[in-house]
Amino acid sequence: MATPAVVLLSGGLDSTTAAAIAIAEGFEPRALTVRYGQVHEVELEAAKAVVAALGIREHKILDVDLAGFGGSSLTGHGEIPKDRPLDTIGAPGDVPSTYVPARNTVLCALALSYCEAIGARDIFIGVNVLDATGYPDCRPEFIGAFERLARLATRTRDIRMHAPLIALTKAQIIRRGLELGVSYAITHSCYDPTDGAACGRCDPCLLRKKGFAEAGVPDPTRYA
Amino acid sequence: MATPAVVLLSGGLDSTTAAAIAIAEGFEPRALTVRYGQVHEVELEAAKAVVAALGIREHKILDVDLAGFGGSSLTGHGEIPKDRPLDTIGAPGDVPSTYVPARNTVLCALALSYCEAIGARDIFIGVNVLDATGYPDCRPEFIGAFERLARLATRTRDIRMHAPLIALTKAQIIRRGLELGVSYAITHSCYDPTDGAACGRCDPCLLRKKGFAEAGVPDPTRYA
């Protein structure tokens, strides 16, 4: 029997690749998707499509109203930034308005609860620090600190955090996913979609386009 | 203007005292209560009463379905233990079935999100390690690790975790609360109440009774 693992799955390019890597590494993933009030709630439909495509057997979709706390354009408080120069995205000190306060801490905490409840020890998260926005909770130091916390916080002392994309560029992530048979057409990255079509101008759209270009493969994203 | 702080408030004896201490220390608390599927949901009514009694101006009640993950008698999966000998409660290695996987990690993560969203830096939590059940996420090591995580996870680098009860016995907590004018009659600790009346036999009831006895003050709890 394969070893169970919890995979945080937004339905985006990164988390989908992380899920495919978990499977390739011999884990049997259980997906956790959180509806936290993100304005691009359409990503939840992508998450469901990914779960079906990867043959994941269990998918929990959890509601947690972080939008009620405010503090982020990604939860409806302000405009989503557009057309930012690529060299400023993720630059040192760049924390854009789309940063949701402590979001990845909340997501990892929920994954930890799920993980321990089902007797698993492994958690996958698709954060990456290169070709990414400058969110503080996407850095290796964050993942390391969360793993240390997790081992103190639970009955299960040997929780392992897996962030297999952490040091990859977007192009490398895409190439790895394609090797594993990922269909990126069903994934969703855009923060400001219209009828499911990507805007092509927000940070994740810009990074995604750049990734496909650098990987030298066609971008299957439907842009508005 | 007083400094804002987030106080995790269950409506129990400990978190109520922690809130009173936050006020005494000059903070203006915002209360966060989480409905996570606890079988003793009646504690939410106590939390509201405490908010009113302490004059707390903002109270967020958040739904997060940890019960859906399973793994705890406190969220409806199994019987609440009763009549356990006092010297076994909280003994080394004693993690009772009422432990909710990673609950305090989830609560602290949500408090962190709220804290950062409102521009605060201080979080109060009423955990204590003496006269407590043996939950791993009530120990000082957990609080320290969470504070280290919080500083890496957020834009706000100087988050401070306050656990003012951590090294107090239940009797000391009660005495401190009474000095601050806390009315313990409106607080709720029992895991298995009937019509709002405490069972008197679960771990928190036994610890609470012992605390009032040792403090030498009348126990205002309504027992079934």
Does A221 fall in a domain? Answer: no
At B50 the three-state DSSP class reads helix
B65 touches chain A (CB under 8 A): yes
Beta bridge partners, A162, equal: A124
Q: How far is CA B11 from CA A195, B8, B27, B169, B179, in A?
A: 44, 9, 19, 19, 19
* Other C-beta atoms lying within 10 Å of the C-beta of residue A61: 16
Number of domains in chain A: 1
In a domain, residue A59? The reply is yes
CA–CA separation, A84 and B164 (whole Å): 45
Looking at residues A178-198, what average pLDDT do you find?
Answer: 96
Closest residue in B to A116 (Cα) is: B101
Q: Which residue from A minimizes the CA distance to B152?
A: A142
Q: Is residue B124 situated within a structural domain?
A: yes
B112, B118, B137 ranked by CB distance to A153: nearest:
B137
Residue B224 included in any domain:
no
User: Within a domain: residue A223?
Assistant: no
Determine, yes or no, domain membership for A222.
no
pLDDT tops 90 at residue A12: yes
CATH of the domain at B69: 3.40.50.620
Residue B175 domain flag: yes
Which CA distances in Å does B89 have to B96, B130, B190, B204? 8, 10, 15, 10
> Among all chains, which residue has been given the structure tokens 């830096």?
B121
CA distance B166 to A145: 22
- Residue A125 CA to residue A146 CA, distance in Å, equals 12
Q: Render pLDDT for A141-181 as a digit per residue (tens, 0 to 9).
A: 999 999 999 999 999 889 999 999 999 999 999 999 999 99
CB-defined contacts A:B, below 8 A: 151
Query: Do residue A63 and residue B66 have CB atoms under 8 angstroms apart?
Result: no
Higher pLDDT, A130 or A174: A174
Residue from the list B70, B101, B113 with its beta carbon closest to the beta carbon of A106: B113
Place of tokens 């299957």: A220
ipTM above 0.95, yes or no: yes
pTM: 0.97
Q: Which two tokens stand for residue A125?
A: 């998260």
Question: Domain range holding A65?
Answer: 3-215
Please, what is the end-to-end C-alpha distance for chain A in angstroms?
A: 44
